[in-house]
Structure 1
Amino acid sequence: MTDAISHRYTLHDLAERLGARVVGDSNVPVSGLATLSDAGPDEISFLANKAYLKHLASTRAAAVLLHPSHAGECPVTCLTLDNPYLGYAELSRLFDPLAQRPPQGVHPSAVIEAGATLGTDVQVGPNAVIEAGVVIGARAVIGPGSVVGADSRIGADSRLHANVTVCHGVVIGERAILHSGCVIGGDGFGFAHDGSRWHKIAQLGGVVMGDDVEVGSCSSIDRGALGDTLIGNDVKIDSQVQIAHNVQIGDHSALAGCVGIAGSTKVGKHCMLGGGVGLSGHLTICDGVQVTGMSLVTNSIHEPGVYSSGTGAMSNAQWRKNAVRFKQLDDIAKRLARLEKHHGGR
């Protein structure tokens, strides 16, 4: 059985939790999770990438979680699972020290304005601010220094780490994770120009996020200008991502670090945007699109698949030669068109 104090588990416990099969001694206890090369005799490890197979023979782990095809190569007890990386994800949460901390309640330095509603077992850290009209679901955690603006809603079992800002009128679903420094519901970049200076456009919409959304540190999701910015269920957003006003992100999509999405663009379900991808405004990206890192998308995408733009890294000397050719492409294309016309398109 599980030891609740030391968080020790037998391999039998873990196999039942993961739906895995134990090959070896199921009574072996483990109290931590580590890589194949770093794991000690009281820790479990995993093999999910064949690139690390070379470390399997020398591992000192008590046990290894791996695919059944590698069970014969494992020198220690193993747990076999068709998707060991998914099993690793489950184990990581099991040994997460943050999840094992006892409830802290509401810190005396927190400011909770009249009219805010806190569900059962909500935790509020030091110097956090909960403004009027806020509704926070059961077991949610509001970290130190975080601010939840007026009339916002935070779903049950959600966690705001330290110094998160949720602006007024934002709706966040259940089991959300918002990392430090992220801002949800700040003003969108809306201005009108009169020929000499800019005039601010009030941003009257909000942000609505579904369940199981995670937002990385220092990312910004702007509120809508009129309607809401919409983030679907199970969307995963990395650090330093910018999502502009009235963007829509479909369920189960993932955005890597430094992605930037301009206003009113719609991204479908099950899309993946690599690091540094930029999407221009007012585009539609259909379901099932993958855009590779550092690509710039300036037109809508209507067919699922993998898309790229830009050029890969090369020596500076080669790049300089190619840059000259880039400038000549229009002239080359015109000359080619004249030649084809002269030869009857042959």
Structure 2
Amino acid sequence: MTTTSTRLGELVDRFGGQLIGSPDITVIGIAPLSDADHHSITFLSNSKLRHQASSTRAAALILTESDYAQVSQDYAGACIIAPNPYVYFARAAQYFASLVAIPPALGIHPTAWVSPHAVVAATASIGPHVSIDAEAVVGEDVVIKAGTVIGRGVSIGDNTLLHGNVSVYDHCIIGAQCIIHSGAVIGADGFGFANERGQWIKIPQTGRVVIGDRVEIGANTSIDRGALADTVIENGVILDNQIQIGHNCHIGENTAMAGCVGVAGSAKIGKNCTFGGAAMVLGHLTIVDNVHISSASMVSRSILEPGQYTGFYPLAKNADWEKSAAIVRNLSGLREKIRQLEKTIKTLTEKSS
């Protein structure tokens, strides 16, 4: 891989921060505190790791002002003081990656099939064995990698990247500056069936998936199209690998979900929420803005107040679980009764003695 050195002064010019040390020091990339050497810049985002920062061999260190006051007593390298070192690291990492990135080849690969009734921008890059159906619109600087299938009437916004073997079903909309990773399926039929005397009758799924700008969707994640209305993923949402979003869901702006989260149909989730890995959300629920769900938690009711929520419970037969849940709900009251009984017993014991 080609490496390109960068002056610390250039990083500060681009991303701000207060540089303590020479602006002419050059670095070739970012490394962890424990692995960094005199060619690297590193960062301290967790004050618990100050001891590692103090002994790092990095040429430069990104950290907060309060951490600098402690670490600088032992660390002799250059420092960039920033209010949020982790964000600074993210932006610097993007910059370093851009220095060595190989630009995609513009145009349509000879093995790709593009309908004569599709519109593909001249600045787009269409990889091998890609299929683009009629009435699809592919924007400026879009990159679509090998084996991806773009359905009829799909719209893809400018500067969006679709990795290999993504499937985008008919009439779905993907915004600008999105990243969709391999194996993702956008717009498959939602799980909609009616039961007639034990036979499942399929309900046609005629809605779309509408994805906003700056959305990232992980590998093998599936987002189902709506039954009648659309499934909506708002701007800035990030979805990890192997997530299932059911039909007619609405995911609010800047919400983040870790791997294997499942959201059942028609759930409405607000803005700036987070979901730990394997969290589950039942269908037709409402979750307001700024709700944070712990890993493996089951959301079985609407959440109408912001905050952190956690729910773990051992598997049991449903009837037994409901009885146990009722007991758990009453534990607070039972505890108070026990405390009163203890006081009464203590009083009676003292009187008798």
The two structures share one fold, judged by TM-score above 0.5: yes
1:45 CA drift (Å): 0.9
Query: Is the 8 Å Cα contact of residues 277 and 295 (structure 2) preserved in structure 1?
Result: yes
Specify whether residues 325 and 93 from structure 1 end up closer, same or farther in structure 2 by C-alpha distance, changes over 3 A only: closer
Write the mapping of 1:2-41 to structure 2, written as runs, cut at 5 A. 6-41=3-38
Query: Is the 8 Å Cα contact of residues 23 and 79 (structure 1) preserved in structure 2?
Result: yes
Counterpart residue identity of residue 209, structure 1: I
Query: Is the 8 Å Cα contact of residues 47 and 67 (structure 2) preserved in structure 1?
Result: no
Query: Is the 8 Å Cα contact of residues 33 and 53 (structure 2) preserved in structure 1?
Result: yes
Specify whether residues 190 and 311 from structure 1 end up closer, same or farther in structure 2 by C-alpha distance, changes over 3 A only: closer
Specify whether residues 172 and 98 from structure 1 end up closer, same or farther in structure 2 by C-alpha distance, changes over 3 A only: farther
What SS is found at the alignment partner of 1:65?
strand
Write the mapping of 1:197-346 to structure 2, written as runs, cut at 5 A. 197-311=199-313
1:59-81 Cα deviation digits (max 9, x unpaired) = 12111111122332432111110
Q: Which runs of 5+ in 2 are unaligned?
A: 338-353
Write the mapping of 1:186-205 to structure 2, written as runs, cut at 5 A. 186-205=188-207
Query: Is the 8 Å Cα contact of residues 190 and 227 (structure 2) preserved in structure 1?
Result: yes
Corresponding residue for residue 64 of structure 1: 61
**Deviates most, 175-184 or 117-126:** 117-126
**Deviates most, 57-66 or 20-29:** 57-66
Corresponding residue for residue 51 of structure 1: 48
Matched residues in 1 for 2:67 and 2:188: separation?
50
What SS is found at the alignment partner of 2:186?
strand
Counterpart residue identity of residue 228, structure 1: D
Matched residues in 1 for 2:158 and 2:325: separation?
57
Matched residues in 2 for 1:111 and 1:240: separation?
28
Corresponding residue for residue 92 of structure 1: 93
Query: Is the 8 Å Cα contact of residues 223 and 246 (structure 2) preserved in structure 1?
Result: yes
What SS is found at the alignment partner of 1:108?
coil
What SS is found at the alignment partner of 2:54?
coil
**Deviates most, 100-109 or 234-243:** 100-109
| Bigger share in helix | 2
Matched residues in 1 for 2:321 and 2:187: separation?
45
What SS is found at the alignment partner of 2:55?
coil
Matched residues in 2 for 1:66 and 1:331: separation?
49
1:28 CA drift (Å): 0.7
1:112 CA drift (Å): 1.0
Matched residues in 1 for 2:152 and 2:327: separation?
59
Q: Which runs of 5+ in 1 are unaligned?
A: 313-318, 341-346
1:182-233 Cα deviation digits (max 9, x unpaired) = 1110110111111122121111000001110011111000000011000011
Corresponding residue for residue 139 of structure 1: 141
1:172 CA drift (Å): 0.6
Counterpart residue identity of residue 234, structure 2: G
1:137-161 Cα deviation digits (max 9, x unpaired) = 1111101111111100011000001
Specify whether residues 96 and 153 from structure 1 end up closer, same or farther in structure 2 by C-alpha distance, changes over 3 A only: same
1:325 CA drift (Å): 11
1:84 CA drift (Å): 0.5
Query: Is the 8 Å Cα contact of residues 93 and 99 (structure 1) preserved in structure 2?
Result: no
What SS is found at the alignment partner of 1:96?
helix
Matched residues in 2 for 1:260 and 1:306: separation?
18
Taking structure 1 as the reference length, the TM-score comes to: 0.88
Query: Is the 8 Å Cα contact of residues 4 and 100 (structure 2) preserved in structure 1?
Result: no
Matched residues in 2 for 1:329 and 1:311: separation?
9
Specify whether residues 135 and 99 from structure 1 end up closer, same or farther in structure 2 by C-alpha distance, changes over 3 A only: farther
**Aligned Cα RMSD in Å?**
2.5
Corresponding residue for residue 316 of structure 1: none
Matched residues in 2 for 1:102 and 1:32: separation?
19
Matched residues in 1 for 2:99 and 2:210: separation?
27
Matched residues in 1 for 2:34 and 2:270: separation?
40
Taking structure 2 as the reference length, the TM-score comes to: 0.86
1:314-341 Cα deviation digits (max 9, x unpaired) = xxxxx99xxx9996676897xx99xx9x
Aligned residues: 324
**Deviates most, 204-213 or 102-111:** 102-111
